[in-house]
């Protein structure tokens, strides 16, 4: 069987190798529980950052409200596990599906229009979702949240699931960028009219990507709830959560394939440091970072590394950047 044309052996081997190495870390290298937990969180953050990028980067529809999808997935999955005793994976899937459909409900009308309507709407969706979820305590447990069942060995299990989720996220990112479909998305981002002229249905494709992004986001949120065995609306659905995904994308490089994954890793590390050292300056410092990146290196770390590589004589293939 021939692999599809967008498939490349080298990056696939590198990513898979990395995943296997990471998967073997806990049993072989006996890393500390702390490191293991940090890694678990990083994996799921990577998947979430990539999911944000499918919309914000590939289509240029920046979302300031992805926490709503993240949180909704978490709440649905948590409620199903608590009230219906659904197995974890099934509950995650259900959470993801609900989040994806929810994204379509408000995204479909706003994505049809050109310009920033979608982005602005996401600010409202984020706020409204947080408010509604805080008040619907029969569903979400209100501001005191709700606790999920804890089973023995769950954390190690989640570590491996986390790797799997991140892996699927990376593969989807490659597929959404390199396949003919990815070319269509790029066309839509550059010029909706021209894309329409060559027979690309922007409405259907944008909706499709939105659903995928919501699905992945919901699953990540559900995973997060399982990881903490707890979920509450204030932090899960907060404004800061939403913009953390924006930061990861911008730091790593909006619209690049793996940039947001790198951005997620950097974000997790930097955030730990900021929160510990300058809790009051945290948002502002990220704001400064955002302004600087956009002004001087809009492709973030990916752009920076390309620039360095170019200095040493590396010539990238033209479709790698932007």
Partner 1 sequence: MIEHLLDLTVSAFLLAGLYATMAYGLGLIYGVLRVVNLNHGGMIMAGAYAAWWAHDQFGLDPYLSIPIILVLAFLVGVLTYAGLVRRLPRGAAGGVQSLLLLFGVWLILRNAAYLVFSGNDQTVLTSYSTKALPFLGAQISVNRLAVFGVALVTLGALHLFLTRTYVGKAIRAVAQNPESCTLAGVPVQRIYMLTFGLGTALASLAGALATGLYAFNPGFGATELLKSFVVVVLGGLGSVAGTAVAALILALVENFSILVIPSYLTSAVGFVLLVLVLVLRPGGLFGQRVLG
Contacting positions for partner 1 (CB under 8 A): 56, 60, 62, 64, 106, 109-110, 112-113, 115-117, 119-121, 123-125, 127-128, 131-132, 135, 189-191, 239, 243, 246, 250, 254, 280-291, 294-295, 298
Considering the complex, state which of residue 99 and residue 125 has its C-beta at the smaller distance from partner 1.
Answer: 125
Q: Are 76 and 42 in contact (CB under 8 A)?
A: no
Dihedrals phi, psi of 231, to nearest 5 degrees: -150, 135
Helix (H, G, I), strand (E, B) or coil at 184: helix
Residue 143 CB, shortest distance to partner 1, in Å, is 12
What is the Cα–Cα distance from 313 to 288, expressed in whole angstroms? 32
Considering the complex, state which of residue 177 and residue 189 has its C-beta at the smaller distance from partner 1.
Answer: 189
Considering the complex, state which of residue 112 and residue 155 has its C-beta at the smaller distance from partner 1.
Answer: 112
Residue 23 CB, shortest distance to partner 1, in Å, is 35
Residue 230 CB, shortest distance to partner 1, in Å, is 24
Residue 202 CB, shortest distance to partner 1, in Å, is 13
Considering the complex, state which of residue 115 and residue 153 has its C-beta at the smaller distance from partner 1.
Answer: 115
Residue 112 CB, shortest distance to partner 1, in Å, is 8
Considering the complex, state which of residue 134 and residue 157 has its C-beta at the smaller distance from partner 1.
Answer: 134
**3-state SS string over the chain?**
CCCCCCCCHHHHHHHHHHHHHHHHHHHHHCCCHHHHHHHHHHHHHHHHHHHHHHHHHHCCCCCCCHHHHHHHHHHHHHHHHHHCCCCHHHHHHHHHHHHHHHHHHHHHHHHCCCCCHHHHHHHHHHHHHHHHHHHCHHHHCHHHCEECCCCCCHHHHHHHHHHHHHHHHHHHHHHHHHCHHHHHHHHHHHCHHHHHHCCCCHHHHHHHHHHHHHHHHHHHHHHHHHHHCEECHHHHCCHHHHHHHHHHHHHHCCCCCCHHHHHHHHHHHHHHHHHHHCCCCHHHHHHHHHHHHHHHCCCHHHHHHHHHHHHCCCCCCCCCCC
What is the Cα–Cα distance from 49 to 138, expressed in whole angstroms? 30
Q: How long a stretch of residues is the chain?
A: 322
Dihedrals phi, psi of 230, to nearest 5 degrees: -160, 145
Considering the complex, state which of residue 191 and residue 316 has its C-beta at the smaller distance from partner 1.
Answer: 191
Residue 318 CB, shortest distance to partner 1, in Å, is 16
Residue 188 CB, shortest distance to partner 1, in Å, is 10
What is the Cα–Cα distance from 150 to 136, expressed in whole angstroms? 24
Considering the complex, state which of residue 194 and residue 308 has its C-beta at the smaller distance from partner 1.
Answer: 194
Residue 145 CB, shortest distance to partner 1, in Å, is 18
Considering the complex, state which of residue 119 and residue 172 has its C-beta at the smaller distance from partner 1.
Answer: 119
Residue 312 CB, shortest distance to partner 1, in Å, is 27
Considering the complex, state which of residue 127 and residue 207 has its C-beta at the smaller distance from partner 1.
Answer: 127
């Amino acid at each position: 069987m021939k692999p599809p044309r967008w498939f490349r052996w080298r990056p696939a081997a590198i990513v898979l190798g990395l995943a296997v190495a990471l998967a073997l870390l806990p049993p072989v290298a006996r890393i500390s529980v702390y490191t293991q937990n940090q890694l678990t969180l990083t994996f799921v953050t990577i998947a979430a950052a990539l999911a944000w990028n499918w919309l914000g980067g590939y289509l240029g529809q920046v979302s300031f409200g992805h926490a709503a999808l993240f949180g909704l997935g978490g709440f649905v999955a948590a409620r199903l596990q608590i009230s219906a005793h659904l197995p974890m994976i099934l509950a995650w899937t259900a959470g993801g599906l609900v989040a994806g459909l929810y994204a379509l409900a408000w995204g479909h009308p706003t994505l049809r229009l050109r310009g920033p309507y979608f982005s602005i709407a996401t600010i409202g969706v984020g706020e409204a979702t947080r408010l509604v979820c805080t008040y619907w305590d029969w569903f979400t447990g209100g501001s005191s949240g709700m606790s999920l069942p804890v089973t023995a060995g769950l954390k190690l299990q989640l570590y491996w699931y986390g790797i799997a989720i991140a892996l699927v996220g990376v593969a989807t990112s490659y597929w959404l960028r390199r396949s003919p479909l990815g070319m269509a998305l790029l066309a839509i981002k550059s010029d909706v009219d021209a894309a329409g002229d060559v027979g690309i249905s922007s409405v259907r494709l944008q909706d499709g990507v939105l659903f995928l992004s919501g699905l992945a986001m919901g699953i990540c949120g559900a995973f997060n709830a399982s990881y903490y065995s707890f979920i509450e609306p204030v932090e899960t659905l907060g404004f800061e959560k939403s913009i953390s995904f924006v930061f990861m994308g911008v730091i790593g490089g909006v619209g690049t394939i793996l940039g947001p994954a790198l951005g997620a890793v950097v974000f997790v590390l930097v955030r730990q440091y900021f929160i510990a050292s300058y809790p009051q300056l945290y948002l502002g410092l990220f704001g400064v970072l955002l302004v600087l990146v956009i002004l001087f290196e809009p492709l973030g770390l990916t752009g920076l590394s390309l620039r360095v590589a170019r200095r040493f004589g590396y010539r990238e293939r033209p479709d790698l950047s932007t």
